[in-house]
Structure formats: structure tokens, C-alpha cells
Structure 1
């Protein structure tokens, strides 16, 4: 992933203007690091089937990271989670102001599609990638999940509705990352299988995040923890023990599906995913 990190650093959003800190705000949360989990999934699929396309795939991976970063900036806003910390750094509305944070998030959102539109693929591939990112990051994906999450604060949902919430808010962008990798290498049928796998992986990721929220300090997590009491988190609704049990069950399903992939794909994704599949087990 170091090559991708270098690519990101060499392609930070640039906006020269009379504004004293707009460009800094655009770059700040990207420079703060992060797991780069979604780009790694896309690049893992491309590496498995056509490493010659990796250089072009960095553009698509970067587009996903841009969209994901925008979602974090907005998620931390006072109108939403009102979080002071993200990726171990003060959030944008704390460093600058709320207006700057909103606009920086807006800019990274739209810039993600500009990056994709200029990526070195065929017109067909570019359109498919843009469609996939928009469909999963937009009105019937991540944004829908966030809308449900915010509206139902202090209004407990049933567990099936919580899964719908987090399928949209978290899982769909993870699933899209895998599918976009398959689109780049021309394996769209495999992309559907990877998308279904990614939904399960994304739900596991969210359950683990909910567990880590109550078992890690803010310093350990790099973001505000123990702040989900009003939210429809898996731990809030199920309790820690049952959430742990559901994470274990879903981790087993995800592991079995990972083992069913062909050797090339399994060899690329396993080193990345084994850590994430089991990360909740070290937290309690």
C-alpha cells in the first residue's frame, strides 16, 4: 500500500485562492492517515488478476478514499456526531469552523467523481466505476444510512432494521470497493459475488467498530469512543456479549467465503482481511 500512499500524497486536492485555509482543510484529513481499507480491497482484486492495471487503479482507489473521507468529515459535524477527534487528529470543524468542514466535505465528495472521470480507463469502465461509487455512496447507499442513523437517535430500532442501517451506511461502500476492482479487470460476474461478500464484510466491520467503541479509549481508537449511547449500535441494542457472539458468527462466515475464492484472489485478500476479521477478539 506504500505505492498507493505515495500516489495519494502526489495527488492531493489543490485549490489556490484568496481563501486562507480552504486548501489546507481539503488536505488535512487525507494527510491524517487512516486504514485505507477500502482502497486496499480494490487494489487487492486488481493485483490478483492484472497487476499491469494497478497504476490506473490507483485513481479509482483514491476516488473511494476521497468519498470515504468526506463522509467522515460530515459524520463528525456538530449536527451529526459532534466528534472532536478523527484519525488521531482534531476534526475539521474544531481546527477551522463548521462552514469550512461542510464545504471541504462537499468538495471531496464531488472531487472523487472528477478523479474517476479522468482515470486512465476506457469510457465504458469509467462510467461503470462512477455508477458503482455513486450508487453505493449516495442517496440509496451511505447517505441513506447516515440519514437513518441520525433520525433514529434515541429511538431504538429492531436488530433487522439496524442491519439495514449499517448495510447502507458502512457495508455498501466496502462492497463497492471490491466490485470496482473486478470492473477494472473485466470480471463483472465475479464483481457481483465480491459485492455480496463485501456486504457481509462491511457488517462485520461495523459490529467490530461498535465493540471497539466501548472497549477502547479515544487515544487507542484515534476518534471519540463511548459516544454511541443514543445511537442504534449493535452493542447498544444487543449488549457487548451478544454483539461479540454475532461478530464471531459473521467472522466465521466471512472466513469461509474467503477460503472459497480462487488462489490468486485469496492470496491477495487474506493478508489484509485476516487482521480485520479477527480484530474484535483482542478487544474484550
Structure 2
């Protein structure tokens, strides 16, 4: 299959290689921003994020802006009818957040379909669930997604409010994990934790003031790891919906870790457990 667009509006037909387009990218509706492109669309950028989205059969794509070099470095070929507009890097920079590392690729697509909690609670009990309480920084959430996918978590659960939307910034930090890790967004996080418990998961909240270490608190069975926002930590109501609180054994000279680093360590500890 070939990589091409159509002949209208400056796009290239198949088999034709002209000069790279310039100027139009920055003047398009929904130009520079955080990753939203209007009418419900999401704009993704960066090699890993865009390539993963293109390879995701559950993702509906609209249009790709790219340099020729970046297109050549993609894994596999684009469908013959895929809309591509070739542009130079300076033009692509106008389509994304300021100073965002687009790496020559900007993809406009529809958001992923909703995932429901019931869809993930029957997963392999060795695969943990990550629950985030009001972690709002898209860089942190994306990094946590990347670690969760790396350590074979079955899902990430966030509140629908007080959590970042699907965006280019989050997808770039997730480095492709957004496309493969189920993301459950719920209205009531406390109620979701009750459902997680009913499904047989032991809920461990990470808290610096806890007496037990995570290694001491981890069960042999299904586990949900609950993390709160940096600074404030978990809300009291969410703490009350945990079966245990645990801390990471960090040195006393450091008060805490970045939430994404803490999540990565906790996920490793969960993955390293020995199951009967």
C-alpha cells in the first residue's frame, strides 16, 4: 500500500513527489494548542504516539501532517486512501503545543471509545490496576500509563473530572501506551473502588505516612494500586476506600517522589510478586 493523499487543497496524489508544502499548517482551524483540534478531535504528535495510534485498529483517524523523512520511518505503510499533507517541521510546529517535540508527525484523530470498569475487572489476577485520585498533570498521567503498560497492568482508572483529557501532551508522555492500556474514566472514584473490591482486588493506597512498606502490604492475589496527586495526596474519602496504606522505603533525606516515579516503583513491586 502506498503513502499518499488526494490532489485537492495541495495534497499529493499517489506516485507523485513534489516540494514539501509550506505555510498552510499554521493557518488551519484549531492551530497551536494542547492537543485538542475542535469538534471532538484529538491531535497527537511524536513518532511513538502517532505510530501507535496509526496501528491501533480501534482508533479512527482523520488526517496526518508529516515530513517525508518521518513518514519513511514509520513502521508499515499507510492505507492507500489515507489523507496525508506533507509539510516542513516549522509548519508542523504551528499545529502543536509550543515547543512540543512533534518529530515530524502530527495526527488528527477521534478520541478513543469509552472503556467501562466491568470490561477490565475479569482480567488476569496477576495484572494490577492503577487508580489515580485527582492526578491532573498530563505528563504524569502519560508517564504512569507508559509504566503501567510496561509492567502489564490491566487498566488505569481515573475520575472523569479532575483528570486530564486525552491529548497530544499526554499521548507523547505515554509513548504509545495510550493505544494499548485500557483507560477507565469514572464519575465516582470511591464507588469504583468499591466495585474493584467486589471483584476480589486488594486496594493499596500509597501514602508517605503509612507504617507498612509496599512490600509488606502487597498480597499474593489481585491488587489495585491507588495514588493521589503530588502534594495533597489521596483525598480522605479515597483513603477510606483502601484496604491498606503503604509507603515506599525512600531515604529520609527525600520527603517524596514524583507520582509517576512512585507508580513505576509500585508497578514493578507488583509485577515481581511470586504467585502460587
Which of the pair has more CA radius of gyration? 2
> Which bracket does the TM-score occupy, shorter chain normalised?
under 0.3
Structure with the higher strand share, 1 or 2: 2
Larger helix proportion, structure 1 or 2?
1
Give TM-score, length-normalised by structure 2: 0.25
TM-score by length of 1: 0.24
